[in-house]
Amino acid sequence: MRRTTAYRPIRSGCTDGRSYPRSGTALWLSLPPGSGLEATTYSYDAVVNRRRRSIPSGLLGWLRYLASPTRRAETLYDLAADRLLIANASAPLANMGFWRNVDPAAPNSLERANLALFDLVNDAAGLDDASRVVDAGSGFGLNAIRVARRAPNCAVVGINRSQVQIAMSRELAGRAGLADRIRFLRADVHELPFADASVDRVLSVEAAFHFHARDRFFAEVYRALVPGGWLSMVDLVPLPPRGPVDRVAWRFTRRGLAIPDANVTTLDAYRASLERAGLEVTVFRSIVADVYPAFRRWQLRQPLRALVRVPPLLALSSAGFLFYPWDYVQVVARRPMQPHDVLRARGR
């Protein structure tokens, strides 16, 4: 008999067999206001369970997670994509959000803050004159959809290693009527599947902290961008531990959130790694004050029942997140034009 996963039909109103009240008629019915997918009735189970059968689940899945540090992020999102964010049951978003104009107590505040984070990155990318856009670490594909809606001349490619998220992204892009302009590729950002100088913009929203060789990613961005093309991104930055308590917290956090030790860094070292890749940095600023405090206030407002949605192993191993010193950066950088690039562009 074919074994199915622990996920129950949406009829039961929950994804993991426990009974939570739900507000919509289907799981993730209420996609973020402004996402262009508000009316989408979306069955996570129908899409994901088909895919999940080929992925080790349960204890086997978590053992695989612990055993392979360089594939941990991929395994994490395959195993628990839907439960990563505490109480994030209403939308397939997995970011902390940009809260400058968003009140954590308002309805749909997390969704609004997530969309504001996308807009921060997209506004800085100057999409008007771009036609080939890549979203590196594309999650559930919502920013790729947002970009395709906003820039009708763009072809967008989302890069992600998680099979589960790729399946969901394709489903959502299809439902948004954008399947012809957005592609989602299962690929690794450390080896971008694009020819040299073939991409106008690389975007990345809260994903690079997972990459096991961020330097290599930046080198790949440089290679794939056209001269004069832009990288626009935001990223979580785990700062170096300040003492023994931070070191213990970090041990938990790195396992739970699939963050390689190499990504613990100062902001100066982070900026230097962009420059080493040859990128010209035009914006490099901490936006931590518009991210953490309000996100934490939002977390505290979530009823306890939402907390139990998080897989216990994940909750335990990411407990250090609350105590660890974090920063959060916005980066805009470009592949500079060399004199011969300028001449070639003029001759065009």
Residues of the shown chain interacting with ligand SAM in the complex, contacts defined by CB under 6 A: 73-74, 77, 93-95, 137-140, 142-143, 159-162, 165, 188-190, 205-207, 210-211
Q: Which is nearer to ligand SAM, 73 or 331 (CB)?
A: 73
36 touches 145 (CB < 8 A): yes
Element (H, E) at 201: strand 199-205
Task: Report, in Å, the least distance between residue 72 CB and ligand SAM.
Answer: 9
State how beta strands 225-238 and 199-205 pair: parallel
Of 70 and 105, which has the nearer Cβ to ligand SAM? 70
Note whether 116 and 101 are within 8 A (CB).
yes
The pair of three-digit structure tokens given for residue 229, joined into one six-digit string? 């093309």
Residue 199, CB-side half-sphere exposure with 13 Å CA sphere: 27
Instruction: Indicate the residue among 10 and 134 with the shorter CB distance to ligand SAM.
Output: 134
Q: How far is the CB of 147 from ligand SAM (least distance, A)?
A: 11
In the complex with ligand SAM, the residue whose CB is nearer, 1 or 136, is: 136
CA distance 204 to 331: 10
Minimum distance from CB of 216 to ligand SAM (Å)? 10
Q: Which is nearer to ligand SAM, 95 or 265 (CB)?
A: 95
Q: Return the residue nearest ligand SAM (CB atom).
A: 139
Minimum Å gap between C-beta 164 and ligand SAM is: 9
Find the shortest distance in angstroms from Cβ 2 to ligand SAM. 27
35, 145, 278 from 150: Cα distances, Å: 11, 9, 29
Q: Of 8 and 64, which has the nearer Cβ to ligand SAM?
A: 64
Contact 88, 28 (CB under 8 A): no
Q: Nearest approach, Cβ of 78 to ligand SAM (angstroms)?
A: 8
State the nearest-atom distance from the C-beta of 32 to ligand SAM, in Å.
11
CB of 273 to ligand SAM, least distance (A): 16
- Bridge partners of 332? 232, 283
- The DSSP code for 141 is S
Q: Which CB sits closer to ligand SAM, 95 or 245? A: 95
Most distant CA pair in the chain, distance: 66
Minimum Å gap between C-beta 209 and ligand SAM is 8
Q: How many other C-beta atoms are found inside a 10 Å radius of the C-beta of residue 107?
A: 10
Angstrom distance (rounded) from CA 302 to CA 298: 7
Task: Tell me the backbone φ, ψ of residue 236, rounded to 5 degrees.
Answer: -75, 140
Q: Which amino acid is at 334?
A: R
- Please, how many CA atoms are within 13 Å of residue 80, restricted to the half-sphere of its CB? 23
Parallel, antiparallel or unpaired: strands 280-286 and 155-160:
unpaired
Q: Which is nearer to ligand SAM, 8 or 190 (CB)?
A: 190
Q: Indicate the residue among 10 and 234 with the shorter CB distance to ligand SAM.
A: 234
Question: Is residue 161 within 8 Å of 45, Cβ to Cβ?
Answer: no
